[in-house]
Structures are given as structure tokens and as C-alpha cells.
Amino acid sequence: MGARPGRAQRSRLVLIAAIVIALAALPFVYSDAYLLKVLSFVGINVIIVAGLSLLFGYAGQVSLGHAAFYGIGAYTSGVLAVRFGWPWIACVAAAVVVSAIGGLILAVPTLRLKGHYLAMATLAFGQIAYVAFVEAKGITGGIDGLSGIPSPSLGPLELRSAESNYLLVWFFVGVALLLAGNIVALRPGRALRALHASEAGAQACGIDVVRTKVQVFVVSASLAGLAGSLFAHLVGFISPSSFTLVLSIELVAMVVLGGMGSLAGAALGAVVLTLIPNLDAVVPGMSPRAVELLQDWNADIFGVILIVVMLFMPGGLAAGAGRLAGWVRRRRPAPSEAEA
């Protein structure tokens, strides 16, 4: 907490620095194309979940339609690149803007909805978007998808390799987490948490509840759109099956698994749940049969993990990690003299 910076904050900074260095160094020490591709997908999900964490984890506004924003970003980027030849960076920017507009369009009519009703409305939005991706064949390529999306490029520099795409995705992960982390640490983040806890209390503190909800919807949708754009140029081919309700539910599961009021927790939730069906990328020598099992039973595994977490770890991975850190600190000899 802001009132007592110092040790806890410093060890957090050290941890963040270590993670950044490890992620950046990885392709230079161990350049396995499959691993880097899987980790790129992990990064893409972390970006979406960073936004969903603001919306759902912090502000308490559930969305079962986040795959739609992700899809809107992917199609905006893909269509502009393939059919209009826009440069990559312009496609990314357009994807963010169009998904933000999508967020606005969803936020305004659903402002008064809460809980299950908001869940249903956002779910319907996701389904409508999915149907639009399928039916707007002339633009999206329909169920057959849109292929030939070029790799990211900046001027003459084209990022084709798994290494460069991995680094690009994780650069954006870093930016997204930094921006979202700043938001939650300061005044607007407190407004989100206040809104979650008590709308009346938030209003009595001068918070414009309507405006705040719309803002967080838009920010959340933009991040999903950014992730969608990165995905489109990474894989080169998109089809509606990448943007289904199942994904929306998995994204919510990542936030819950990670911990509602924790950005780092949500990111960790995304890492864990994205890795499970691709475990062979990080566990060398796994039998193909085991991987197949993991993929076939993916939804069931998610479900069981969620139930276990909700029963035994109500605050998610973040709270679990917090308790573990506290336990470690207590077991270490008093640090104050040693450090002074």
C-alpha cells in the first residue's frame, strides 16, 4: 500500500525485473519455435486478461463476450491488411480503435445491468459478433476464414521468425501490464474497486459511476482488440472458431483463477490456463497421447481447477502467492538489522 513503501515494493520490483529479463533472454538462449509460439499465445491471452481484470476483477462488471472484442480486433487488422494493404502498425491502431468503439457500443445500453443480466447481455453480444464473423463472408471470409494476413512489419523490417514475433508480443504484454498496473495503483483504479464494492458509496464519493463503467469497458475492449490484432498477424489466418463463447468463458476463468482484484494474479491465471493444453511446449518429452488427453479434457480440467480454487483458495492464485510470501517472510530471520 502507498502508505508503506519499502521492502515489499522493492522485492516486487526485483521480481518484475527478473521476469522481464528472463522473458527477453529466452529466445537467445533456447530458441525452440514451438515453445516460442505457445508463449506468444500465452502473451496474447495475458493482454486480453489484463483488460478483463480491470473490467471484471477490479470494477466487478462481468463480461462473457470478450472473445468478440478480440475477434473485432483480429478481423479489423486482418481485413485492413489483406484487402486494403494497410501497413501493420496502422492495422494495430485501427484494431484498437474499432474494438474500443465496440466496447462503447456494448457499454452504453448495458450500463444499468448487473450480475447475471450483464453476463447475459455480454454473452449475447459475443454471439452476435460470432454470427457476424461467420455471415459477413464478403469481408471476413466467413466460416472458411481470412488467410494471407502478413507478418508484422515496420517499414522494411519484417518480423517473420518465431523469435521476433515472441518478442513483439511480449513487448506489448509489458506495455499493457504497465499501463493497467498504473491505472489500478492510482485514483482511477480505486474508483473501479469502489464501484465494485458499493455503487452508492462510490457515488457518495463523487465518482460518476456511468462514466467510469463506460471508460473501463472501452479500455478493456481496446486491450482485447490489441491482442486480436497481434494474433491475426502472428498466425496469418483467422476464422470465427477462434472467437467463440468458450474462449470468453476461459478468459473469465483466468481472472477468477488468478484472483479478482489482482492484475498479476490474472496474468498468472492466463499463463497457467493457456499452457495446460500446450503443456508439451514447456515439458519436454511429454508423450503425444498425454497432450491429446489434456486437449480433449481441456474444458473439464478448467472446470475442476476453477472449482478447487473457489473452494480452497477464494482469492485465487494471487492470494495464495501472498500467503506463501508471508509464510516465507516469517520463516526468515528478522531482516531489519541485516538490511540497515
Contacts (CB under 8 A) with other proteins, residues 251-270: 261
Q: How far is the CB of 265 from other proteins (least distance, A)?
A: 14
Q: For other proteins, which residue of 9, 31, 198, 241 counts as binding (CB under 8 A)?
A: 198
**Window contacting other proteins (CB under 8 A); options: 111-119, 159-167, 196-204, 296-304:** 196-204
- On the 0-12 / 13-18 / 19+ scale of CB atoms within 10 A, 168 is buried
Q: For other proteins, which residue of 186, 283, 304, 324 counts as binding (CB under 8 A)?
A: 186
Q: For other proteins, which residue of 87, 142, 145, 188 counts as binding (CB under 8 A)?
A: 188
**Window contacting other proteins (CB under 8 A); options: 79-87, 195-203, 232-240, 292-300:** 195-203
Encoded amino acid at 51, one letter: G
C-alpha cell recorded at residue 162: 518465431
* 107 touches other proteins by CB under 8 A: no
Q: Quick one: 2 or 333, whose CB is closer to other proteins?
A: 2
Is residue 242 within 8 Å of 133, Cβ to Cβ? no
Q: For other proteins, which residue of 180, 253, 273, 281 counts as binding (CB under 8 A)?
A: 180
Question: What angle is formed at CA 325 by the lines to CA 39 and CA 268, rounded to 5 degrees?
Answer: 20
* Termini Cα distance of the chain: 22
Q: How far is the CB of 97 from other proteins (least distance, A)?
A: 15
Q: How far is CA 211 from CA 103, 191, 201, 216, in A?
A: 13, 11, 16, 9
Q: For other proteins, which residue of 127, 151, 164, 203 counts as binding (CB under 8 A)?
A: 203
Q: Using the 8-state DSSP alphabet, how is residue 58 labeled?
A: I
DSSP string across 255-306: HHHH-TT-HHHHHHHHHHHHHGGGGGGTSTT--HHHHHHHHHTHHHHHHHHH
Closest by CA to 34, choosing from 150, 163, 149, 148, is 163
Q: For other proteins, which residue of 134, 209, 245, 301 counts as binding (CB under 8 A)?
A: 209
Q: How many residues in the shown chain lie near other proteins by CB under 8 A?
A: 34
* 208 touches other proteins by CB under 8 A: yes
Contacts (CB under 8 A) with other proteins, residues 211-230: 215-216, 219
**Window contacting other proteins (CB under 8 A); options: 86-94, 177-185, 245-253, 289-297:** 177-185
Closest by CA to 107, choosing from 61, 70, 71, is 61
Q: Using the 8-state DSSP alphabet, how is residue 147 labeled?
A: E
Contacts (CB under 8 A) with other proteins, residues 66-95: none
Residue ranges binding other proteins (CB under 8 A)? 1-4, 179-180, 182-183, 185-191, 193-194, 196-198, 200-209, 215-216, 219, 261
